[in-house]
Amino acid sequence: MKVLISGGYGFIGSHVADRFHKEGYEVFIIDNLLTGRKENVTFKHKGYQLSVEDPKCEEIFRSNRFDAVIHLAAQVSVADSVSNPRLDTESNVLGLVNMLTLSQKYKVKKFIFASSAAVYGMNDKLPLVETDLCNPISPYGISKWVGESYCLKWEQLYDLETVCFRFSNVYGPRQGSVGESGVVSIFMDRIISEQPVFIHGDGEQTRDFIYVEDVADAIYRASYTSLSGIYNLSTNTERSVNSLVDVLKELHDVKEVHHTDRRDGDIQRSTLSNEKIKNELDWVPMYDTNEGLKRTFAWFKSNQAKREVAVSAVAETSSKRQWLKSIQPYFENLLAFALTAWIVLSQQSSAYGLIDVELFYITIIGIIYGNRQSILAVVLSIGLFLFKKLDDGHEIVSLMYDTDFFFQLAIYLFIGLVVGYSVERKNGIIQAKEQKIVELENRYEFLNGVYTEVREVKDELQHRILNSGDSFGKIHSITKELESLELEKVFMATVNVVKSIMGVQTVSIYTVSPNRSFMRLVANTNDSGAAVSKSLRLEDHAYLQKMLADGKVFVNKELNSHAPLMSVPIYHDGTIAAFISIEGMSIDKFSLYYQNLFKVTSDLVSSALSRALAYLDATESRRFIEGTSVLRKEAFEEILSSKKQAKSMHNTPYLLLEGELGQMSLKQYSEKVASMLRETDYIGSVKEGQVVVILSNSAAEDANFVLSRFAQQEISMRVVEGEL
C-alpha cells in the first residue's frame, strides 16, 4: 500500500507519515521545505522537494500508483495571507487543484484534505457543527473554504472519494510558531528560554486544542474506510488561554505573564463539535489537553537547546557569508585601484609607453564585475587623473578650458559604460542559460531518481521471485493449487494457500447453509491443536451477521475470544457462500497490509470456488445416480481421496460408514439417509447393494452417536474407516 503526503515534513505531516509507516505503508512525501524539516521524518521513505503546484508532481503520480493522498501542504499563516493573498492562493488553491487532478487521473482511492476552523469566521454559536454558516474573514480561511468546494465537486464529477477535515487548534511535538495554532509552541519556547509570556487581551478567549497524534489517527483511519464529506476534527472542549498557561506553570516556572492589547479580529470563543466524526468513523481523541501538553512540553524541553544552537550557528554563518560576498567586489576594486594609483603616481606608467593605466584598470574591472563596478572604477580613475594633473602644476580653471582633459574623461566614461554594459548583458545571457541548464539538470535528476526508484522496486521483486523459495512457493500455490475443479480439492488448496501467504497456524473454511442460519466447517488446518467449531449458528455470532450484512473483512480489533482474528466472506453468484477465518497470527502482522493481503487472497479463492461450483452444476447428471442424491463410484472415490489427503496433511477427521440396502431401493435408502446428514456430508455407491457415507469433520468419539441416530430410523451402518 502506498500513501502520498504533501507537506509531509511539516508539523502535522510528519506525524501522519509516522502513523502510516507504522501501519506498513510505503510513504512518499512532497514538500517544498519552506516550513518543513527533513529531520522530522526519520524512517525510510521517498521524499521530493517540490511545491504542490509544480508540474513535475505528475511524474511522481505516474511512477507510483497511490492508494491514498493526504494533502496537508499549505500556506498556513493568516497574517501572510492578508499581506500576500496571491501567494496564499497559489499554494492553497492552485496546489490543491493540481493534487486533485493528478489523484483523479491516476486512480487514487482516497483523497484527504486538511481544511481549518478558519472557514467559520466570526460565529458566536458553540459548538460549531459542519452545517453552520461559513463566513471566513481572511484569505487563508477563504482558500480553505474554496478547497472544500473543489474536493466535493471532484467527488461528484470524477468519483474521487474525498474527505475534508476542519482542524481546530492542533498542537504537539515538532510544531513551529507559524500559523494560527502556534500559541502552544510560542508559549513553550518562551517559558523554556526563561522569557516573559505575552497574552493578547484578558486571556479568557477560548480555543479547541487537539493533540497532533489524535489528528494523525483520524486521518489514517479515514484513509481506508468509505468515509467522505466534511468533518470537524476537534476535542469539542473549550480551553481558555489563561488555563493553558496555568497547566504550563505546573510543568515549568513561568518568569512573567504580560497581558497586551487584544488583537483586531481575534475570535473570543471557539469550539468545534466532533459528534459527526465520532459517529461515522467511531473515532474519539485519546489525549486530553493536560496529557497532550505534558507530552509536548517534554519534547520541546529535550529539543529546544540543540535547536537554538543549530539555528544560531546557521544564521551566523549565513550572515557572515552574505556580508563577505557583498563587500568582496568593492574590496577587490579598491585593491586594483590602489595598484593603479601607485603605478601612475610613482611615474611607473612611463615605462609602459602609450598604455593608459587608468583605462586598462577600468576595462579589466568592467570585464570582471560588470556595470556597477566599472562605473566606480571610472569615478576613481577620473579622480586620480585630476589629482595627477593638479600635481603636475595645472590649475583647476585652466583645466576647464582644456579639451584634451575633457576628451580623456569622455574616453574613461565611454569605455566604462560600454565594457560594463556589454559584460552585464553577456552575464545576463549566461545566467539565463545557466538557469536553464540548472532547471534541465534538476528535471533530469528528478526523473532519474524516479527511474532509479522504479528500477530498485523491480529488481527487488525480481530478486524475491528468483531467490526466495517462500515467495515462489506462494505464487505457485496460488496459480496451481486453486486450478482444480473438484470442490473438496479447492477447499483443501484454499487452506494451504491462505496458511502459506498469511503465515498463520489455523485456517478454517465454513460454508453457509441453504437457509442461511448455520455455518458448516468444510476444511481447516490447525497447527496449534486448539478446538475448532464444526458448526456455527449465525444468530450467536455478531461478527458473522456483520459480514453477511456489509460483505467486508472482519478484523478482531477488540481481541474477542469468541471470534477469529480475521475473517473474510467468499462470494459465488453475487452472494456470500462461505467464510475463511484465520487464527494464530503474530501481533506484528495485525495491520492494514495483512488485511488487504487477506482480501486479495480471498478474491482468488472466490474465483476458484465459482469455477468449481459451476463445474459441479454442469456435471451433476454425470456425478449422481439418476433420481437420487447418491454419488457414482468415480465421483465418490475422488472426494474420499481428498478427505484422506486432508487428514494426512492437516489431521482433519472424517468418518466412512457402510450400510446394506436390504429390501429398500437405492432411492428410498438414500432419501432416508440424506434427511439425517449435513450439507457437507456425502452419500455414494461403490458396490452393488451397498451404500457408503462420508461424514466430514467427524471424529471417532462421534461414531456411536451417529450410528444410534441411523439405528432409530432402522438403518444399520458400521464404521469402515476413520479415526478408529
Residue 285 pLDDT greater than 80, yes or no:
yes
Give the integer Cα–Cα distance in Å for 250 and 190.
15
Tell me which amino acid residue 357 is: V
Q: Is the bond preceding 285 in cis, omega lying within 30 degrees of 0?
A: no
Residue 481 pLDDT greater than 70, yes or no:
no
Q: Are strands 518-526 and 506-512 parallel, antiparallel or unpaired?
A: antiparallel
* Burial class (CB within 10 angstroms; exposed 0-12, middle 13-18, buried 19+) of 678: middle
Which helix (H) or strand (E) segment holds residue 206: the answer is strand 206-207
Residue 167 pLDDT greater than 90, yes or no:
yes
Residue 466 pLDDT greater than 50, yes or no:
no
DSSP letter, residue 517: S
Q: What is the pLDDT of residues 520-529, one digit of tens each?
A: 888 888 666 6
- The pLDDT of residue 373: 84
Q: What is the pLDDT of residues 118-160, one digit of tens each?
A: 999 888 888 999 999 999 988 999 999 999 999 999 999 999 9
302-316, 402-416, 676-690: range with lowest mean pLDDT: 302-316
* Burial class (CB within 10 angstroms; exposed 0-12, middle 13-18, buried 19+) of 320: exposed
- The pLDDT of residue 465: 46
Give the integer Cα–Cα distance in Å for 438 and 675.
82
Q: How confident is the model at residue 468 (pLDDT cuts 50, 70, 90)?
A: very low
Phi, psi of 265 (to 5 degrees): 80, 0
Percentage of residues in the chain with pLDDT exceeding 90? Answer: 27
- The pLDDT of residue 92: 92
Q: What is the pLDDT of residues 654-704, one digit of tens each?
A: 888 888 877 777 887 778 888 777 777 888 877 777 888 888 877 777 778
- Cβ atoms of 507 and 560 closer than 8 Å: no
Q: For the residues of 231-245, what is the DSSP string, one character each?
A: EEES----EEHHHHH
Q: For the residues of 373-400, what is the DSSP string, one character each?
A: HHHHHHHHHHHHHHHHHHHTT--HHHHT
Q: What number is the average pLDDT over the span 245-250?
A: 90
Q: Report how far Cα 23 is from the mean position of its chain's Cα atoms.
A: 10
- Cβ atoms of 232 and 131 closer than 8 Å: no
Angle between helical axes of 289-345 and 357-369 (0-180°, round to 10): 160
Q: For the residues of 648-686, what is the DSSP string, one character each?
A: HHH---EEEEEEE-TTS-HHHHHHHHHTTS-TT-EEE--
Which helix (H) or strand (E) segment holds residue 571: the answer is strand 566-572
Q: How confident is the model at residue 406 (pLDDT cuts 50, 70, 90)?
A: confident
26-40, 243-257, 317-331, 526-540: range with lowest mean pLDDT: 526-540
Q: Which of 53, 76, 74, 61 is nearest to 3 (CA)?
A: 61
* Burial class (CB within 10 angstroms; exposed 0-12, middle 13-18, buried 19+) of 471: middle
Which helix (H) or strand (E) segment holds residue 107: the answer is none
Higher pLDDT, 454 or 281: 281
Q: What is the pLDDT of residues 343-371, one digit of tens each?
A: 877 765 554 455 678 888 888 888 888 88
For the chain, the average pLDDT equals: 82
Q: What is the pLDDT of residues 184-233, one digit of tens each?
A: 988 888 888 888 888 888 889 999 999 999 999 999 999 999 899 999 99
- The pLDDT of residue 460: 56
Higher pLDDT, 477 or 256: 256
Residue 480 pLDDT greater than 70, yes or no:
no
Q: Are strands 654-660 and 717-721 parallel, antiparallel or unpaired?
A: antiparallel
Residue 137 neighbours by CB under 8 Å, 6+ apart: 121, 122, 265
Catalytic choice (120, 140, 412, 654): 140
140 is catalytic: yes
- Helices (H), ranges, 237-370: 241-251, 275-281, 289-345, 357-369
- The pLDDT of residue 723: 42
Cell numbers at 263, concatenated: 488583537
What long-range pairs does 243-251 form, CB within 8 A, spacing at least 24? 244/183, 244/184, 244/187, 244/209, 244/289, 244/293, 245/187, 245/197, 245/199, 245/203, 247/289, 247/290, 247/293, 248/187, 248/188, 248/191, 248/293, 248/297, 251/293, 251/294, 251/297
Residue 178 pLDDT greater than 80, yes or no:
no
Q: How confident is the model at residue 271 (pLDDT cuts 50, 70, 90)?
A: very high
Judged by DSSP in three states, 291 sits in: helix
DSSP letter, residue 203: S
DSSP letter, residue 624: B
* Burial class (CB within 10 angstroms; exposed 0-12, middle 13-18, buried 19+) of 261: exposed
* Burial class (CB within 10 angstroms; exposed 0-12, middle 13-18, buried 19+) of 24: middle
Domains of the chain: 1-168+210-235 (3.40.50.720), 473-618 (3.30.450.40), 624-721 (3.30.70.270)
Judged by DSSP in three states, 167 sits in: strand
300-314, 642-656, 696-710: range with lowest mean pLDDT: 300-314
Give the integer Cα–Cα distance in Å for 87 and 268.
28
Residue 619 pLDDT greater than 80, yes or no:
no
Q: How confident is the model at residue 66 (pLDDT cuts 50, 70, 90)?
A: very high
Higher pLDDT, 529 or 447: 447
Q: How confident is the model at residue 588 (pLDDT cuts 50, 70, 90)?
A: low
Q: What is the pLDDT of residues 71-112, one digit of tens each?
A: 999 888 777 888 888 888 888 999 999 999 999 999 999 999
Residue 504 neighbours by CB under 8 Å, 6+ apart: 498, 565, 582, 583, 584, 585
- The pLDDT of residue 272: 95
- The pLDDT of residue 493: 78
Tell me which amino acid residue 30 is: I
